[in-house]
Amino acid sequence: MMNTNGIHHITAIAGDPQQNLDFYAGVLGMRLVKRSVNQDVPDTYHLFYADAAGNPGTDLTFFPWPALAPVKRGAGQWDEVALGVPAGSLEYWRSRITAAGAPGAVSVGEIVTRFGERVLPFSDPHGLQLALVEDQSYEGFVSEPWHDSAVPVDKQIRSLAGVRLVEQSGEPSVSFLAESLGFRAGASEDGWQRFTVGEGASGQRIDLKLDRDAPRGQWGVGAVHHVAWRVPDTEAQSAVQRAIAAAGGRPTQVIDRFWFRSVYVNEPGGALLEVATDGPGFSVDEAPQNLGESLVLPEWLEPQRTQIEAALPPLSWPRG
């Protein structure tokens, strides 16, 4: 069976887009590698933050829907997103995030140890639960430092390290993830069980918690919308698509997102996941040195550019 290699990207729901840009590019120092719109609902931005080149596994993206109600956390919903940083950098990050004074509900926890790694939990201005983890990435993973970042190269966020998932009933989801994506059970700690693909390194992890009394989660500002898992090419994607169907899932047809090709499915608990190809990448429609500088639209939306741009709030480079 063709397994997925690890996380490709994670997409979340934000509030005000300028606050989102100020926090992720300004405070966290990630590069805005693509400025586009939600291809299904083009009256809102789709903002992509990543390493210098937008490599697969580094990309955290957002749909800013400020009019949406706050997330209702619960079962069947992706939860905390972990971001990988170099060893010995958490003290720097705790000081930086605390001192940033970013607007909204930013909160910073204490440095803790999870599964033998140092972790700093915090939240973004719109309530998305995040954690920085001092990690080691898997073989073949590529992350390039962004030299124009406000964060020093030796401290920069370099990967999407993992994600948490809460379920009312664990067995259907565990079986599905194993049969369709190749996940296997690992260690347990404090009510969380780790499931991994590949080497089980940073970027290849889901931490799952069983909570039979948890209410059903609902999307809103501060929620994870979906988690995408990477495959090298369309042939591998087709193999995983077939495995999803064989495991009882109902995958979509392949959707061309231009920078990658996508297949979507809800796992049995309800959380939305995606299987995305590594290429062709973000430089297919912008020069690498100009990533994220202008609004990029798919071809079928180009005739509506004037109306789309008029409906979107202006963005300026981070005020924070």
User: Which pLDDT score is estimated for 91?
Assistant: 97
Sheet holding 272-277, edge to edge: 31-37, 45-50, 59-64, 6-14, 224-231, 272-277, 261-266, 255-256
5: nearest Cα among 159, 196, 195? 196
Q: How confident is the model at residue 100, as a pLDDT?
A: 81
Q: What is the pLDDT of residue 233?
A: 96
Residue pLDDT tens, the chain, 320 long: 567 999 999 999 999 999 999 999 999 999 999 999 999 999 999 999 999 999 999 999 999 999 999 999 999 999 999 999 999 999 999 999 998 865 555 789 999 999 999 999 999 999 999 999 999 999 999 999 999 999 999 999 999 999 999 999 999 999 999 999 999 999 999 999 999 999 999 999 999 999 999 999 999 999 999 999 999 999 999 999 999 999 999 999 999 999 999 999 999 999 999 999 999 999 999 999 999 999 999 999 999 999 999 999 999 988 64
Rounded Cα distance, 106 and 121, in Å: 11
Q: Could you tell me the domains of the chain? A: 6-311 (3.10.180.10)
Long-range pairs of 115-119 with CB within 8 A, sequence gap ≥ 24: 115/187, 115/189, 115/194, 118/87, 118/90, 119/82, 119/90
Backbone angles phi, psi at 18, to 5 degrees: -70, -40
C-alpha span between 248 and 104 (Å, rounded)? 41
Nearest Cα neighbor of 48 from 33, 30, 26, 65 is 33
DSSP-derived secondary structure letter, 136: -
**Distance, CA of 260 to CA of 17 (rounded, Å):** 24
The residue among 31, 6, 300, 318 whose CA lies nearest residue 137 is: 6
* Residue 101 confidence (pLDDT): 67
| Predicted pLDDT at 96 | 94
| 3-state secondary structure at position 245 | helix
Q: Can you give the pLDDT at residue 104?
A: 54
- For the chain, list the strands marked E by DSSP: 6-14, 31-37, 45-50, 59-64, 77-85, 107-108, 112-114, 117-123, 129-134, 159-167, 184-189, 192-196, 205-210, 224-231, 255-256, 261-266, 272-277
pLDDT number for residue 318: 86
